[in-house]
């Protein structure tokens, strides 16, 4: 393929060299003449492991070139990859001026081009940026998106020091676009890379890089806080976190990474409080650990606010224990939500098969009868009364409420706190979706 790359900085230089090594012909474009001349001399614009040899070798093979002439680059290529910088302002907002400037240049060049052109955004941008890029190109070129050109979000996941390795061995290749022709072209472009390709909504593709990097920052800071507490206890924090990482069933896994309702139960709240107090006893600042409970409480409040927004005074709750498959009501966020609305004068009915059985068998009977008798009296024997005349059903964990029930009962409003379905219905709202 013939590809132009806009921006010959870190991402652009690595992309230029690696794509050329796959056999493609690449033209680098940059306003900085020094960078252009470096590529034209077969030299990289950055210091990075292996990139000097790759650029030199591909230059000798005649697969790479560079120019300041953006029109020439676009007219001679089928794909333009945008890799220009998106620096932060003092307050943290992204400066997208360079991105939009390239979009204007592409729009101008496409006026005189007859063939279809694909624009790929590798720069880190906020959701909605690619929509604006599309508008700019349409306005200036007079051409129609998805007909004469397509825009694709294709975020990069390169680490300095191992960027070439990361380019050739990504955990996943993300492609977001509404244009099938451009999507198919990108899939073909990355066909030589042994990694899964995920085609997603364009806003998800724009957003994922921020989520990834913020989580990486969180992991480093969390490990540092654990290390600080460990040192005060006379423990090697490195050994603690090494042991932590050996658990790939829960600690290093996808198990807890599902947006939804708040955590509860007897272990997480108790042990988190214990760790917080341990840090405080040693006069240690642990802002991440300190604020986990605050974030969890915020999620409970979010559920309450969504329920209140429906302006329905009769509420039915399916699921009272802290999670599905147990009768444990200790620190259950569903109990807190139910108590809030009961205290505000709402009419409630509650169904939870395991809690109902526990009330009969006595496994959790004392807690039910003495700690929450006001809620115990609201428990119904089965789910049928709720489905018969309910106005609003709040689903707090996996239960007998299925997608079929939601679809077949349009007269009932459903608020889903756990993710029963990925489909959209007029009578359905999720807490994080």
User: Which residues are designated catalytic?
Assistant: 267
DSSP β-bridge partners for residue 152:
120
**Which of 210-219's residues contact partners 24+ apart within 8 Å by CB, and which partners?**
210/124, 210/126, 212/157, 218/288
- What is the chain's Cα-based Rg? 28
Residue 417 contacts residue 352 (beta carbons within 8 Å): no
Backbone angles phi, psi at 200, to 5 degrees: -130, 175
Bridge-based pairing of strands 79-82 and 117-121 is: parallel
Other Cβ atoms within 10 Å of 402 Cβ, number: 12
Closest by CA to 302, choosing from 389, 154, 429, is 429
In the DSSP assignment, the letter for residue 94 is B
Handedness of CA 160, 161, 164, 167 (dihedral sign): negative
Tokens of 260: 């939804």
Q: What end-to-end distance do the CA atoms of the chain give, in Å? A: 39
284, 229 Cβ separation under 8 angstroms: yes
The answer to whether 19 touches 154, Cβ cutoff 8 Å, is: no
Spatial contact of 338 and 326, defined as CB atoms under 8 Å apart: no
Beta bridge partners of 314: 347
Residue linked to tokens 């729009």? 107
User: Can you spell out the DSSP letters for 309-344?
Assistant: TT--SEEEEE--SSSTT----TT-HHHHHHHHHHHT
Calpha distance 109→3 (Å, rounded): 15
Are 77 and 39 in contact, with CB atoms under 8 Å apart? no
- Burial environment of residue 416 by CB neighbours within 10 A (0 to 12, 13 to 18, 19 or more): buried
């Amino acid at each position: 393929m013939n590809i132009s790359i806009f921006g010959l900085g870190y991402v652009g230089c690595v992309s230029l060299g690696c794509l050329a090594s796959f056999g493609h012909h690449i033209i680098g474009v940059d306003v900085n003449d020094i960078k252009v001349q470096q590529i034209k001399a077969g030299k990289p614009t950055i210091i990075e492991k292996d990139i000097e040899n790759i650029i030199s070798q591909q230059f000798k093979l005649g697969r790479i070139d560079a120019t300041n002439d953006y029109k020439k680059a676009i007219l001679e290529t089928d794909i333009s990859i945008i890799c220009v910088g998106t620096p932060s302002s003092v307050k943290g907002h992204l400066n997208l001026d360079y991105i939009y400037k390239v979009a204007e240049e592409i729009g101008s060049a496409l006026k005189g081009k007859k063939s279809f052109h694909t624009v790929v955004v590798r720069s880190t941008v906020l959701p909605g940026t690619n929509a604006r890029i599309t508008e700019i190109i349409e306005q200036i070129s007079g051409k129609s998106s998805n007909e004469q050109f397509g825009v694709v979000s294709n975020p990069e996941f390169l680490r300095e020091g191992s960027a070439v390795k990361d380019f050739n061995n990504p955990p996943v290749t993300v492609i977001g676009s509404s244009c099938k022709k451009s999507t198919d072209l990108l899939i073909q472009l990355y066909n030589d890379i042994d990694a899964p390709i995920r085609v997603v909504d364009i806003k998800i593709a724009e957003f994922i890089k921020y989520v990834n990097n913020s989580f990486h920052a969180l992991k480093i800071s969390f490990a540092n806080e654990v290390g600080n507490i460990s040192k005060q206890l006379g423990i090697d924090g490195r050994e603690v976190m090494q042991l932590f990482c050996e658990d790939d069933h829960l600690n290093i896994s996808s198990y807890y990474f599902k947006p939804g309702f708040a955590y509860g139960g007897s272990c997480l709240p108790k042990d988190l409080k214990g760790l917080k107090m341990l840090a405080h006893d040693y006069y240690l600042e642990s802002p991440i650990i300190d604020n986990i409970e605050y974030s969890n409480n915020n999620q409970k409040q979010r559920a309450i606010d969504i329920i209140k927004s429906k302006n329905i005074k009769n509420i039915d709750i399916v699921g009272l224990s802290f999670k599905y498959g147990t009768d444990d009501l200790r620190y259950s966020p569903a109990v807190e939500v139910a108590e809030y609305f009961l205290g505000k004068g709402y009419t409630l009915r509650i169904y939870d098969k395991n809690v109902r059985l526990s009330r009969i068998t006595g496994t959790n009977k004392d807690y039910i009868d003495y700690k929450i008798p006001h809620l115990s009296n609201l428990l119904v024997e089965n789910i049928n009364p709720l489905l018969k005349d309910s106005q609003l059903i709040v689903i707090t964990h996996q239960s007998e409420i299925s997608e079929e029930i939601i679809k077949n009962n349009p007269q009932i409003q459903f608020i889903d706190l756990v993710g029963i379905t990925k489909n959209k219905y007029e009578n359905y709202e999720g807490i994080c979706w």
